[in-house]
Structure 1
Amino acid sequence: MKKSIGQILIRLREEKGLSQYDAAKQLGIKRARYNSWENGIARPRVDMLNKLAEFYGVNPDYLLGFDAVVEAPSWASAKDRRDIKKFIEQPEVLYYDGIEFSEEDRQKMIGVMETIAWEAKRQNKEAYKKARENMDDGN
């Protein structure tokens, strides 16, 4: 299901660990204006859409819900999402033999990397939970 621009803005803002006040201040706008975008009351103009995309390090199409991306699983915390985003943004993983991949190939790779990273995160959480249960049981 396609996410609304408000849902996308909320997720991106939370991944950065910002409040609406913080995001609005850094964007040079009032919090009420930013809030209206997150709540679907209004939509940003094209110039602000570009500014938002730059601020969050995504392309404007992504903000509009057009880019296919791997959604974070329902069990993922805000910290989990930040960890995965930090991993994905490592520039050295998007080069081969010193050659940078095209934007289209980068987006494909990011999708695959996110899928793999989320599975690894899930397995890690399960292993940690099992280890904790074993410790609690005295094993």
Structure 2
Amino acid sequence: MNIQLKKLRTSRGLSQDEMAEKLGIKTSRYGTWERGERMLSLKQAYDCAVILGCSIDAIAGYDPPVSYSDPAQAALNGYWESMNDDGRERLLGIAELAADSGKVRVQKNAGDLRVPSEMGRSA
């Protein structure tokens, strides 16, 4: 298994000491996990995933393949994955404007699901 703890930890700006403190363990124990000297239990992997804001799959280095039947959707997802938070927010705004509001049932906005305002209005 290709444990990705160090990569995930550093991408979140955490030190080994900070990670160990959040887990309630010694830094030396945490370091053995990053170096692959000791394996994590499922509970330990879960705790790390919660702290790092990722899945256990990500910690294990498993990146499940995503497939799209529509090449345009695949391209749009590629753009989304390469954007920073500001770019994603702008793209959501553009998508909301471009959507045919009569056909949109639920849209994702700022991390929550909501019914578009047009849908809740009486004609």
> What interval of TM-score do these two structures reach, taking the shorter chain for normalisation?
0.5 to 0.7
1:58 matched to 2:66:
no
- Residues in 1 aligned to 2:92 and 2:12: alpha-carbon distance in whole angstroms: 22
1:17 matched to 2:20:
no
Question: What's the RMSD between the two structures over aligned residues?
Answer: 3.4
Q: Which has the larger radius of gyration?
A: 2
1:99 matched to 2:107:
yes
> Residues 51 and 85 from structure 1, CA distance in 2 versus in 1: closer, same or farther, beyond 3 angstroms?
farther
Q: Deviations over 1:51-98 (max 9, x none)?
A: 1111111111111111148xxxxxxxxxxxxxx999269875679655
- Residues in 2 aligned to 1:90 and 1:40: alpha-carbon distance in whole angstroms: 36
Report the CA distance between 1:39 and its aligned residue: 0.6
- Which structure 1 residue ranges, 5 or more long, are not aligned? 70-83, 101-139
Aligned residues: 83
Q: TM-score, normalised by structure 1?
A: 0.48
> Residues 29 and 90 from structure 1, CA distance in 2 versus in 1: closer, same or farther, beyond 3 angstroms?
farther
Aligned to 2:75: none
1:87 matched to 2:89:
no
> Residues 62 and 35 from structure 1, CA distance in 2 versus in 1: closer, same or farther, beyond 3 angstroms?
same
Q: Deviations over 1:93-121 (max 9, x none)?
A: 67965523xxxxxxxxxxxxxxxxxxxxx
Aligned to 1:104: none
Specify which structure has the higher proportion of helix.
Answer: 1
> Contact 2:8/2:59 (CA < 8 Å) preserved in 1?
no
Aligned-residue sequence identity (percent) comes to 30
Aligned to 1:72: none
One-letter code aligned to 2:43: D
Aligned to 2:2: 4
Counterpart of 2:45 (choices 43, 49, 67) is: 49
* TM alignment of 1:105-124, pairs within 5 A: none
- Which structure 2 residue ranges, 5 or more long, are not aligned? 66-80, 97-105, 109-123
The one of the two structures with greater contact order (alpha-carbon pairs below 8 A, sep at least 6) is 1
Moved over 6 A (4+): none
> Residues 62 and 15 from structure 1, CA distance in 2 versus in 1: closer, same or farther, beyond 3 angstroms?
same
